[in-house]
Structure 1
């Protein structure tokens, strides 16, 4: 099961966070700081899977952004690794070459995409067209 999804830049600033298990607000900042330190300071040659406290971290770097997913011990790391890539592909398709600014200024749309893919910590959709269908409908409605 997926516990959380974070998107952070190279400076360690959180650009997106979605928690699928309750975490107190006071603990979130500390958790995110620990996670960022655990992933950003690793060498490129090192594995993208990290044992962390009572769960695992799966992360991927895209330009200046890191996507980090916290998962339970029983979750398949490779499937989560591919899920991260699929998420970024969908963002690229919608924003045509997604950037950190796209994430920051279109947070609602990024959350819609993520919510179409993951619900209650479980992957529910991976098809790009089905994931983008609600946004297409919203965009059509906004332009009419």
Structure 2
């Protein structure tokens, strides 16, 4: 089970967090500080797995971002590395070449993509085609809702209420 997902910049700024296990806000802050300190100081030739508080934190660096997932000690690290790769590939397809600014300014889409891949800390959908189709369908719904909001009759109805 994945307990949480973090994305941290090389400067230590948190760009994405998703918690699947209960942590208080104080605990979350402490976890982020501890892990960012451990991961950011590691050399590039060291392995991508860190043991932490009886868990394993699997991470991978893409350009200026570290994508981290905390899993149980008995979980398969290679599977988690593949999930991270899958998530980043999906982000790359959606944003072109994903960068830190995409995670900052389009965080709603980023969380939606993550929620299509993971649910309750487990892999929900392993088919890239299915995930891309669902994301495209969601974008179509958002565009249709925006077009509806811009119609004259909708604006008049809103003013009348």
Q: State the alpha-carbon separation in 2 of the partners of residues 99 and 16 from structure 1.
A: 12
Q: State the alpha-carbon separation in 2 of the partners of residues 115 and 137 from structure 1.
A: 15
Aligned residues: 144
Q: RMSD over aligned Cα, in angstroms?
A: 1.0
After superposing on structure 2, the runs of 4+ consecutive aligned residues of structure 1 that deviate more than 4 Å are none
Give the match for residue 104 of structure 1: 104
Compute the TM-score of the two structures, normalised by the length of structure 1.
0.96
| Greater relative CO (CA pairs within 8 A, separation 6+) | 1
Compute the TM-score of the two structures, normalised by the length of structure 2.
0.86
After TM superposition, the structure 1 stretch with the greater mean CA deviation from structure 2, 109-118 or 122-131, is 122-131
Report the alpha carbon displacement of residue 56 of structure 1 after superposing the two structures with TM. Answer: 0.5
Q: Deviations over 1:30-66 (max 9, x none)?
A: 1101011111110011000111112001000000000
Report the alpha carbon displacement of residue 138 of structure 1 after superposing the two structures with TM. Answer: 2.4
1:58 matched to 2:58? The reply is yes
Residue pairs, 1:16-95, within 5 angstroms: 16-95=16-95
Compare the two structures and name the one with the higher helix fraction: 2
Q: State the alpha-carbon separation in 1 of the partners of residues 82 and 142 from structure 2.
A: 32
Q: Deviations over 1:102-127 (max 9, x none)?
A: 11111111111111111111111122
Q: State the alpha-carbon separation in 1 of the partners of residues 100 and 127 from structure 2.
A: 23
Give the match's secondary structure for 2:47. coil
Give the match for residue 149 of structure 2: none
Report the alpha carbon displacement of residue 132 of structure 1 after superposing the two structures with TM. Answer: 2.4
Structure 2: gaps of 5 or more residues: 145-161
1:133 matched to 2:133? The reply is yes
